[in-house]
Amino acid sequence: MLEDQDMSLQEAAAVVHEARARARRELVISAPLVYTAWGLVLLIGYGAMWLSVRGQHPYRGPSGVSIAAVFVLAGFAVAAVLVIASRAVAGIDGQSVRHRRIIIATWAIGYLILLSVQAAISGSATTRTYAFVAFAGPLLLAGLIYILASALGRNRPAFALGAWLVIVSASCAGQAPATILAACALAGGGAFLLIAVIEARLGAHDS
Amino acid sequence: MTAENGLDPVIHAPARLRVVVTLATLRDGDNLSFTRLQELLGLTPGNLITHLRKLEDAGYVTTVKSGSGVTSRTSVSLSEQGRQALDTYTAVLRQLLDSVSVNGTSPH
């Protein structure tokens, strides 16, 4: 490339456009892809659990296949997010790296607490209470994490998603297991997919 | 050079413009390693150092070297002044392009 070559205005505009588009593609974690991955986990995984408990009398819990589907899908989502994130943040250091560590640590601690509570109440809680903790608990945790992430990264779509997930999961308290699973799959998974579309449109508009 | 049309001559060079735009994508408080920046821009190390020095002299970027030997890392970040300079540059560029489309003239 020539060093200090003069550029026409049109060439300068093209350089700005191309450099910005490339930098965003290479250095920014793709929010639409991350939201889509988790949206599909909820919609398909929780949806499968919902279909397996719908109409159960008495309630016996989700089928083994549907539970396995959730774990397999979640595993794929975690792997996809890790690949996307590690590619995007290679070579980047500073405040956002520290924020990401805080978010991951909070997520891990929160999930361990959730599993502990689930184990502690498994023998004594009512079916509805146990279903609320086991099914809506992860969604509540995800909502709180997105609110934290939005505060650290000043990200409005993440705040809207987090607040919505908290509302959806909190409103599941006292509901039947099938209702909780349906709410998490449709209102939770649907919200993730909606935010993915919004983020994709915002990204296209900015570039 | 183009100082007479209001465009910052330090930024108004293809390689430096790409450096500044790329670094502006990072969040406040973040920096990028020299090697990743070089890989993204496809410049030789010597070329990139030359452009970074010009931008550093203008106060637009900050480079920090840490560690030593094989663990050494040079990180590059855009300063607040650099961010403002890019904002001004893109605003002036937009105005000039608008005036070109209205008047049909082509200021360089």
For position A57, what pLDDT does the model report?
Answer: 86
In a domain, B48, yes or no: yes
Q: What is the CA radius of gyration of chain A?
A: 21
For position B107, what pLDDT does the model report?
Answer: 52
Q: What residue numbers bound the domain in which B16 lies?
A: 8-97
- Per-residue pLDDT, averaged over A120-135, amounts to 94
Q: Is the pLDDT of residue A203 over 60?
A: yes
Are the beta carbons of B96 and A9 separated by less than 8 Å?
A: yes
Q: Nearest Cβ partner of B15 from A1, A90, A94?
A: A1
Phi-psi label, residue B59: left if phi above 0, alpha if psi -120 to 50, beta otherwise: left
Supply the mean pLDDT for chain B. 89
Torsion on CA atoms A73, A76, A80, A83, rounded to nearest 10: 160
Domain limits, chain A: 31-206
CB A40 within 8 A of CB A190: no
In a domain, B103, yes or no: no
In a domain, B52, yes or no: yes
Supply the mean pLDDT for chain A. 92
What is the end-to-end Cα distance of chain B in Å, rounded? 8
Counted across chains A and B, CB pairs separated by less than 8 A come out at 101
Q: Nearest Cβ partner of A27 from B25, B43, B50?
A: B25
Residues of chain B with pLDDT > 70, as a percent, come to: 91
Q: Is the pLDDT of residue A204 over 80?
A: no
The C-alpha atoms of residue A43 and residue B92 are separated, in whole angstroms, by 47
What Cα–Cα distance (Å) separates residue B51 from each residue in B19, B41, B48, B55, B94? 8, 12, 5, 6, 24
Q: Is the pLDDT of residue A15 over 90?
A: yes
The C-alpha atoms of residue A100 and residue A21 are separated, in whole angstroms, by 23
Q: Is the pLDDT of residue A128 over 80?
A: yes
For position A27, what pLDDT does the model report?
Answer: 94
- Per-residue pLDDT, averaged over B79-107, amounts to 86
User: What residues in B contact A6, CB-CB < 8 Å?
Assistant: 1-2, 12, 108
In a domain, B107, yes or no: no
- Best interface-test mutation with A: which of B4, B7, B10, B27 has the largest number of A CBs within 10 A? B27
Are the beta carbons of B22 and A23 separated by less than 8 Å?
A: yes
B25-59: pLDDT as tens digits: 999 889 999 999 999 999 999 999 999 999 999 99
What Cα–Cα distance (Å) separates residue A43 from each residue in A38, A137, B4, B27? 9, 16, 58, 32
User: What residues in B contact A96, CB-CB < 8 Å?
Assistant: 26-27, 29-30
Residues, chain B, total?
Answer: 108
CATH code for position B25: 1.10.10.10
In a domain, B42, yes or no: yes
A79-93: pLDDT as tens digits: 999 999 999 999 999
In a domain, B39, yes or no: yes
In the numeric block, which tokens belong to residue A45? 């995984």
CB B58 within 8 A of CB A112: no
Are the beta carbons of B14 and A5 separated by less than 8 Å?
A: yes
| Smallest CA–CA distance from A94 into chain B, residue | B30
| Smallest CA–CA distance from B15 into chain A, residue | A3
Closest CA to A151 of A87, A101, A207, A103: A103
In the numeric block, which tokens belong to residue B45? 């190390």
For position A51, what pLDDT does the model report?
Answer: 96
Are the beta carbons of B21 and A23 separated by less than 8 Å?
A: yes
In a domain, B29, yes or no: yes
Number of domains in chain B: 1
In a domain, B89, yes or no: yes
For position B23, what pLDDT does the model report?
Answer: 97
Torsion on CA atoms A24, A26, A31, A35, rounded to nearest 10: 150
pLDDT class for B1, splitting at 50, 70, 90? very low
The C-alpha atoms of residue B11 and residue A179 are separated, in whole angstroms, by 58
